[in-house]
Structures are given as structure tokens and as C-alpha cells.
Amino acid sequence: MIPVQGFDGQRVAVLGLGRSGLATARALRAGGAEALCWDDGAAAREVAAGEGFVVQDPCAEGALEGVAALITSPGIPHLYPKPHRAIAAAWAAGVPVDNDVGLFFRSLALSDWGDLDEPPKVVAVTGSNGKSTTSALIAHVLEAAGRPVQLAGNIGRGVLDIDPPGEGGVVVLELSSYQIDLARALTPDIAVFTNLSPDHLDRHGGMGGYFAAKARLFTMGGPDRAVIGVDEDEGRYLANQLAEGPGDMRLIRVSAQKIAGPGWDLVARKGWLSEMRKGRQVASIDLRQVAGLPGAHNHQNAACAYGVARALGLSPKEIEAGFHSFEGLPHRSQRVAEINGVSFVNDSKATNVDAAVKALGAFTRIRWICGGLEKEGGMSALAPAAGGVVKAYVIGREAAAFALHLGDVPHEVCGDMATAVARAAAEAEPGDTVLLAPAAASFDQYDSFEHRGRDFMEQVARLQG
């Protein structure tokens, strides 16, 4: 646990008592603060009370008097589509609002770090797609090379729930736009931006607000080094803002296009990862042989992870060895089974159009299971990207409406996962891939994308008897 610093002897309100909320309350208590806990769900309040925390509605009259801060969970809206009533109450009372990520960055460094030969470092990864795989891959490569590392944030443990890092330790954080947007302190040593595509637009008031939330990770604290995907305008903008000149080696640019500038560039193209410095290639890795990272989108993730590992002092050979032992993450291009020459792949994490497009590009002869709760940002990119699709099998409560976005792609409205898997398996031929890449959120039928992915895997397991 990371004890929260700066609130010793003070009262701090905690809003939202899920995984991060309870961890925050415990970390506040460990730092000498009194945590006043609240959740709109009665069951969560009972859990907090059972741990001895004071349960108090921050909207009650006088509840915020003498409160030093309100710490909110990332899933609770603080601005768009409208502020939660407790956050609005904090504004009215002049109480600062923060989240666990902000507390983490203000509390991590300890007084004895000055005595360490190699103080700990924090790597923070954000972006629309690939941040989970990139974060996990960074942690895996470091661990395989013998470096002490912890994975936390939007993946792994809560940011305040990790152990205090020691000599040479590295903390790898996956951070969503929700987590970055409200944090009052953001000071990673290395920050990574994978890419940007429309997502969570209702929460951020549009693409501009969404990008602004991501950009705070780079513009607020100023990381010592940045690894930036530059295949979208937003990434190019960030890279330009951070670099002091064309040859600034604190910036590592990542692209799927040919670039050979005067600085430090990583190109993931046609299955190869090339490291370029000052226009010359200094190392390369054949990513086509890395089973846990299939497809061009995962090659971009590998390039981002490579950049971080190189910045932390690892050699290309150490990184390549780590790549080959990486098995991938559940629900992200996860190979579930092969039955009678047909591969079954679970990419339930492809919850938006851009992620689904990248998943489709990783395979040929695809039996595509898609559909769910549509997100803002449009679906126009789906049909053009489906050139390798033999047939689509559409699920979701509004499956028929979703199917309209597929254009001339052959499709069948199945409605539920069991029907879709059964139909795809029955029609698949050896060499085909049955791919779950929904291009939509899961909440019309499931609690989460993990729940949806598990259902897919269970249906595939039934095919095996």
C-alpha cells in the first residue's frame, strides 16, 4: 500500500467504493487521514462500514464542512454529461476534488529515495487502443530481464494498492482518460501515448475534450521521456509540443510508416520493428515470429513497449526475448482454440470501431462475431475494413440495426453469443478464423467486455465437447 501523504489528521471524503475507492480509503487511513466514505450503492457502503470507515453522504447538509478534499472514483462523471451531485456539492463548498491517481503521484516518493543508487521510476501508458497490452508487455519484458516491476492502474492492482517500490523498481500504470482527466498531480518519468480514436465522447464532451484529457498526462507534469504514436494528428501535435527541436532524444516517435528523422524513431511496418536513431537503423526485431502479438496493431504496441524498455536501459536482445515469452492478455486477440482447422479468437476488448478494424486486419478468412451497444463516433469505417470477412454474425439487443452498418458484407442476425458461435462454427472451413471483435460496448447484454469474452470462450468450449 502507498500511504497517502499530505492529509495527516484531516478528514477526506471518498466517493465511490469499488476497487479503487476502498483502496483509496485504506491508503488515506494509513497516511493518518480520516476517510469519510460514500457510495450510491448500499452494499458497497456496508463493506466500508465493515472495515470501520465512517459512512457519510457528502451531499448531506454540513457534510463537507472541515473536509480537506473529495476523492472520486474514475467512473463517476465530474463534468459531462453532468457532474455527480456530490462533486457539484464539493465545488459549491470550495472543497478540492481529486482522484486516486492524483494522490498516488503526490504520495509515491519517500524521503529515503535520495539514498538509493537507482530511485524507482513510473511509466504511465494511455491511448484509445492497445494501452492494456502495451502496459502488460512493458511489465513482462522488465520482469523477464530481472527488473523489479509492478503493474497497476486500469489493469492489475489499484494505484494506491501496490507495494512501495524500492531500489531500481519500476511502476507501470495503465491510465484511462477517466483517470487522467481529474488527477491534480501527474508526474511520470516516462509517458506513452499509443493512438487516438473516438471513444467515451459523451464523458468528455466530444473528441476535443477526450484528447485534452489524454494530453494532460504529458502537459501537466512534463515526463522526462515520452513515447508517442504519431500516426494520427493528435499524436503528431503532442510530439511537436514536447520536443525542443527535431533531434530531441527525449522524444521517441512510434509509427507504422517510414520515418527516419534526426531523432529517435521506432517503425513497426510489415511485421518488422526497426529502431532508428538520427536517421540510421540501430536494431530490428522480426515481430512476425512473436506468437503473443499478432497483427499490425499489436506490432505498434510492441514498438511502444520497446521504446520504454530501451529508455530504461534494456538491450534489444533482452527486449526481443521478453516479446517471445509474452502470452498476451485475455480478451485481446486471445487464441482460444483450434477445432478441425478453424481458429477461435477472443478480442472482446475491441469495444470501439478502431479496435475492431485493427483486429480484422490481423487475420484472413474471418467469421466475424460483432455487435453490441454502439458508441458515439460513427461506424463508417467498419464495412471498408471487412475485406477479409467471409461472413459476419451479429449479436446484441439491436443486432438488426447494427447490421445496417456492414454494407455489402454477408451477415446473419444472431442476437446472442450462443447462436453466433454455433452458426459461425457450423459454416467455417479449415483455415478460417472465428473472431469475436464486437466494435461496440457490451452493456446491452453483459456486465463488461470480460463477461462477454468469457461467454464466447464458454460457447467455444462446448463445441469441443
Give pLDDT tens digits for 383-400.
888 899 999 999 999 999
In this predicted structure, the answer to whether residue 376 has a pLDDT above a threshold of 80 is no
195 carries a ligand binding annotation: no
415 carries a ligand binding annotation: no
177 carries a ligand binding annotation: no
Angle in degrees, 0-180, between the axes of helices 42-50 and 19-30, rounded to the nearest 10: 30
pLDDT at residue 377, rounded to an integer:
64
Domain at 334-463: CATH code: 3.90.190.20
Domain boundaries, the chain: 11-98, 116-324, 334-463
pLDDT at residue 235, rounded to an integer:
96
| Candidate from 271-275, 330-334, 378-382 with smallest mean pLDDT | 378-382
**DSSP per residue, 54-71:** EE--TTSTTTTTTEEEEE
Band of pLDDT at residue 113, cut at 50, 70 and 90: confident
Cis peptide before 81 (omega within 30 of 0): yes
* pTM recorded for the entire structure: 0.86
pLDDT at residue 373, rounded to an integer:
92
Cα 451 to Cα 348, 349, 420, 460: the distances in Å are 9, 10, 16, 14
Band of pLDDT at residue 295, cut at 50, 70 and 90: confident
pLDDT at residue 197, rounded to an integer:
87
The per-residue b/e assignment along 367-385, b for 16 or more CB within 10 angstroms, e otherwise, is bbbbbbbbbebebebbeeb
In this predicted structure, the answer to whether residue 448 has a pLDDT above a threshold of 90 is yes
In this predicted structure, the answer to whether residue 233 has a pLDDT above a threshold of 80 is yes
131 carries a ligand binding annotation: yes
Check: CB of residue 181 under 8 Å from CB of residue 209.
Answer: no
In this predicted structure, the answer to whether residue 381 has a pLDDT above a threshold of 90 is no
Band of pLDDT at residue 318, cut at 50, 70 and 90: very high
> What average pLDDT does range 190-210 have in this prediction?
90
pLDDT at residue 358, rounded to an integer:
87
Band of pLDDT at residue 202, cut at 50, 70 and 90: confident
pLDDT at residue 259, rounded to an integer:
81
| Candidate from 4-18, 243-257, 375-389 with smallest mean pLDDT | 375-389
> What average pLDDT does range 439-455 have in this prediction?
94
Angle at the Cα of 156 from the Cα atoms of 272 and 438, rounded to 5 degrees: 65
Kindly tell me the burial class for residue 194, based on how many C-beta atoms sit within 10 Å of its own C-beta (0-12, 13-18, 19 or more). buried
128 carries a ligand binding annotation: yes
Check: CB of residue 137 under 8 Å from CB of residue 326.
Answer: yes
Rounded percentage of the chain residues whose pLDDT exceeds 70 = 99
> What average pLDDT does range 308-334 have in this prediction?
94
Rounded percentage of the chain residues whose pLDDT exceeds 90 = 84
Mean pLDDT across the chain: 94
Q: For residue 207, how many other CB atoms are within 10 A of its CB?
A: 16
So what CATH class is 11-98? alpha beta
User: β-strand 280-286 against 272-277: which pairing, if any?
Assistant: antiparallel
pLDDT at residue 239, rounded to an integer:
95
Q: What letter represents residue 190's amino acid?
A: I
Q: Which residues on adjacent β-strands are paired with residue 71?
A: 14, 98
pLDDT at residue 333, rounded to an integer:
87
Higher pLDDT, residue 221 or 275 = 275
Set of cell numbers at residue 254: 512510434
Measured torsion, CA atoms of residues 302, 307, 313, 314, in degrees rounded to the nearest 10: 20
129 carries a ligand binding annotation: yes
Rounded Cα distance between 376 and 413, Å, is 22
Q: How far is CA 288 from the centre of its chain?
A: 24
- For the stretch 67-106, pLDDT in tens is 999 999 998 999 999 999 999 999 999 999 999 999 999 9
> What average pLDDT does range 281-296 have in this prediction?
92
| Candidate from 3-7, 13-17, 377-381 with smallest mean pLDDT | 377-381
130 carries a ligand binding annotation: yes
Domain at 116-324: CATH code: 3.40.1190.10
Rounded Cα distance between 450 and 351, Å, is 11
